[in-house]
Amino acid sequence: MCQMFHVSTQELSNEFYVRLKRKNYVTSTSYLEMINTFKTLLAKKRDAILKGKKRYVVALEKLELAGAEVLVMQENLNKLQPQLTILSATVEEKMKVVLEQSAKASEIEQVIMKDEKIAGEQARDAQVIKDECDANLSEAMPILNTALAALNTLTPADINVIKTMKNPPKGVKLVMEAICIFKDIRPEKVPAPSGVGTVEDYWGPSKKVLSDTKFLESLLTFDKDNIAQKIMDKLKYQILDDASFDPDQIKTTSTAAEGIVE
């Protein structure tokens, strides 16, 4: 092939001279250079072909390996198919359960929302009551401080005066009845003045309270901040609403009772 190229080049050089009168020299060196160039190109081409062949072979091996893995995976899938069927049925059953539970949860949520609404209303009502109590307390505190100051002026002798009364005035009885109510002391049942049935009377329990050596101390240390609502209600309709419960009127009958009522 190289010889053919060389001879053809010589013939073309001669024709080139005949036509254009220009010389083109084809020497042995040119022939050798052409051979070397051809060898270089041939080596590069052969190397490229071998690399392509190698890539092709590797690709075929990978395809063969992938095919084998696909077969293994297919076999595994065939083995797992019964389990997948069972799992699918199980999931479907669980989904039914979840839907049922979701429906129940929705019902429970509605109940909770109703309870929250009721609780909110109760909280607002409680706040209203608290505000009323705070308002009443703010009004009562100056009176309470005055009452404590009045209690500090009482002596055991003053208390003894009340205790020894055989027929105390109504105002004095009301004062001691209020003390018994505060202390949650029950009244006695005594014959009614009309002679029919019995009535509640606090004077007997009141004398027992007055006999307590720590009576004055118990009044001063009474827990005024935690009085039960039932006691407050009872005190209001039994004592405070009674026209006879008036410190000015009580003062005319007993200074000691007036100090207690304050």
Give the pLDDT of the chain (262 residues) as one tens digit per residue.
666 766 777 777 777 778 887 777 767 777 677 778 878 988 899 999 999 889 898 888 888 888 888 888 888 888 888 888 888 888 888 888 888 888 888 888 888 888 888 888 888 888 887 777 677 556 545 544 544 555 566 677 777 878 888 787 887 788 888 888 888 889 999 888 888 889 888 889 988 988 888 888 888 887 877 878 888 888 888 877 777 676 666 656 555 555 555 5
Question: Quick one: CA dihedral 53, 55, 56, 62, positive or negative?
Answer: positive
Q: Mapping DSSP to helix (H, G, I), strand (E, B) and coil, where does residue 188 land? A: strand
The domain boundary, picked from 69, 89, 120, lies at: 69
* Strand partners for 200: 189
Q: In whole angstroms, give the CA distance from residue 169 to residue 255.
A: 12
Residue 180 domain flag: yes
Q: In whole angstroms, give the CA distance from residue 170 to residue 112.
A: 55
The domain boundary, picked from 54, 69, 84, lies at: 69
Q: What is the pTM of this model?
A: 0.44
Q: Dihedrals φ, ψ of 24, to 5°?
A: -130, 115
pLDDT at 233: 83
* Residue 219: partners with Cβ closer than 8 Å, 6 or more residues away: 151, 179, 260
Domain that holds residue 17: 2-69
Question: For the purposes of burial, counting CB atoms within 10 Å of the CB of 197, is it exposed (0-12), middle (13-18) or buried (19 or more)?
Answer: exposed
Q: Mapping DSSP to helix (H, G, I), strand (E, B) and coil, where does residue 245 land? A: coil
The number of residues in the chain equals 262
Give the angle subtended at the CA of 227 by the CAs of 231 and 177, to the nearest 5°: 45
pLDDT at 248: 64
Question: For the purposes of burial, counting CB atoms within 10 Å of the CB of 259, is it exposed (0-12), middle (13-18) or buried (19 or more)?
Answer: buried
The domain boundary, picked from 69, 90, 120, lies at: 69
Same domain, 254 and 160: yes
pLDDT at 262: 52
Residue 109 domain flag: no
Residue 92 domain flag: no
- 231 close to 182: Cβ distance less than 8 angstroms: yes
**In the numeric block, which tokens belong to residue 157?**
């002798």
pLDDT at 152: 63
Count structural domains, the chain: 2
pLDDT at 259: 55
Calculate the alpha carbon distances from 169 to 4, 173, 249, 250, 251 in Å. 157, 6, 10, 8, 11
- 146 close to 257: Cβ distance less than 8 angstroms: no
DSSP summary character for residue 197: S
Q: What is the CATH number of the domain that holds 251?
A: 1.20.920.60
Chain Cα centroid distance, residue 76: 48
